[in-house]
Amino acid sequence: MNIYFIKFESNYHYVRLIIKGLKQKGVTVRKTTYPSPMSSFSIAVNGGVFHINWPEFYYKMGKGLIKMLVSIMLALSLIISMMIMRFLFGIRVVFSLHNLLPHNSERRWLDRIVYSAVIFCSSSVICHCIKAKELINEHYPTYSGKVIVIPHPNFMGVYGDKMNKYEMRDILNLPQDVYIYIFFGKVRAYKGIKELVKEFREVGGTEDRLLIVGSDDGTGYIEEIKRIAGDDERIMIRGIWVLDEFVNLYMSCADCLVLPYRDILTSGGVLLSAQYCIPLVAPAIGCIPEQVDGRMAVLYDEGGLGDALRRIKGLKEREVIEGSRAVMERTALDVVTNRLIEDVYGGGEELSC
């Protein structure tokens, strides 16, 4: 049997990791297009499971009346193709639901229709924690029996090893004898970076630094953050896209990772703190409390970011390392892949080549 992934989605680390894990288990992996009658027929002839992650990539078109009409047409095409795939050809469909609805959506009503339809057409819906399953059952109660909890795999093997902190600071032209909080990742409004800058300006000490690293993809959001930072020299903003091979440089130079999401269900980013054994500051929302270990993180409720930035310095290095190792063990790619094969795709014996 074959497992089919969408070619465009395979550019994203989650899908690339799953494909890597499946191939290591001897499972045949193929890439295809977003659902269409032709691709559905091909999968039906060859036999296999179709795994989709982000249906919005197919129909999301931006603002404006014309783009809205095109989005609606593409969404309808996707829904019809999914129904043909599932109910005409009898193909097993798996949907990894990373968020209840897409981030930064212009048309949440359309997203809700599409997500409901994709869940309806799916044999199994994967989420990454028990809280996510509860929220999915709350938002899509008709389909609660399809939801399976499988953790998000960590990024071991994707990014480089941890390096010497002080050597990395030299390379990146960062000060040595300071405590560096780092925000790392795509710069988006829902990630709460403005709030982080404001809180840091209030609670950060003279020997503290806030390093913000990531691209806003031309939205201008970084300029807004710079205006809030003002002339505070403790705040260093690098609006760049960091290639995979350089991620370990930035993670190695930091004392603490801060991901102050305003809204999130699943975050692959929180697993970076475990991989590099640095403490994490994040809100106690979505899957984050289940993804991390209490020994390596300070999680906060609404309004508690400033206090968390202070408290994180009190964590003991040994406990951070032990907590990080525990997270890495339970999110290992081998563990996740075995669960997918046994609980989602239909059984290890059937899938081996």
CA 332 to each of CA 227, 271, 325, 327: distance values in angstroms, whole numbers, following the listed order: 40, 11, 10, 8
Based on the domain organization, do 310 and 342 belong to the same domain? no
Q: What 3-state class would DSSP assign to 140?
A: coil
Based on the domain organization, do 11 and 45 belong to the same domain? yes
Q: Is residue 303 part of a domain?
A: yes
Based on the domain organization, do 112 and 216 belong to the same domain? no
Based on the domain organization, do 187 and 73 belong to the same domain? no
Based on the domain organization, do 20 and 81 belong to the same domain? yes
Based on the domain organization, do 45 and 191 belong to the same domain? no
- Summarize pLDDT for 162-176 with one digit per residue, the tens: 999 999 999 999 999
Structure-derived torsion over alpha carbons of residues 331, 332, 334, 339, reported in degrees to the nearest 10: 0
Torsion-angle region of 295 (φ positive above 0: left; ψ -120 to 50: alpha; else: beta): alpha
Q: What is the mean pLDDT of residues 69-93?
A: 92
pLDDT at position 300 over 50: yes
- Summarize pLDDT for 221-237 with one digit per residue, the tens: 999 999 999 999 999 99
Q: Is residue 159 part of a domain?
A: no
Q: What is the mean pLDDT of residues 85-113?
A: 90
Strands (DSSP E) found in 33-134: 48-52, 92-96, 124-127
Which tops the pLDDT comparison, 353 or 147? Answer: 147
First to last CA, the chain: 8
Q: Is residue 124 part of a domain?
A: yes
Q: Is residue 261 part of a domain?
A: yes
Q: Is residue 353 part of a domain?
A: no
Q: What is the mean pLDDT of residues 282-308?
A: 96
Q: 93 pairs with which residues across the strands?
A: 50
Based on the domain organization, do 343 and 324 belong to the same domain? no
Based on the domain organization, do 174 and 259 belong to the same domain? yes
Based on the domain organization, do 122 and 189 belong to the same domain? no
Q: Is residue 160 part of a domain?
A: no
What pLDDT does 349 receive? 39
Based on the domain organization, do 98 and 110 belong to the same domain? yes
Based on the domain organization, do 140 and 191 belong to the same domain? no
- Residue 353: band (very low, low, confident or very high) from pLDDT cuts 50, 70, 90: very low
- Residue 350: band (very low, low, confident or very high) from pLDDT cuts 50, 70, 90: very low
Q: Is residue 23 part of a domain?
A: yes
Torsion-angle region of 6 (φ positive above 0: left; ψ -120 to 50: alpha; else: beta): beta
Residue numbers of the domain that contains 24: 2-153+332-348
Based on the domain organization, do 96 and 196 belong to the same domain? no
Parallel/antiparallel/unpaired status of strands 208-213 and 179-184: parallel
Q: Is residue 158 part of a domain?
A: no
Kindly report the number of other CB atoms within 10 A of residue 134's CB atom: 13
- Residue 40: band (very low, low, confident or very high) from pLDDT cuts 50, 70, 90: confident
State how many domains the chain has: 2
pTM across the whole model: 0.89
The CATH number for 84's domain is: 3.40.50.2000
Do residues 266 and 223 lie in contact, with contact meaning Cβ atoms separated by under 8 Å? no
Q: CA 269 to CA 257: how far, in whole Å?
A: 9
Residue 221: its H or E element: helix 221-229
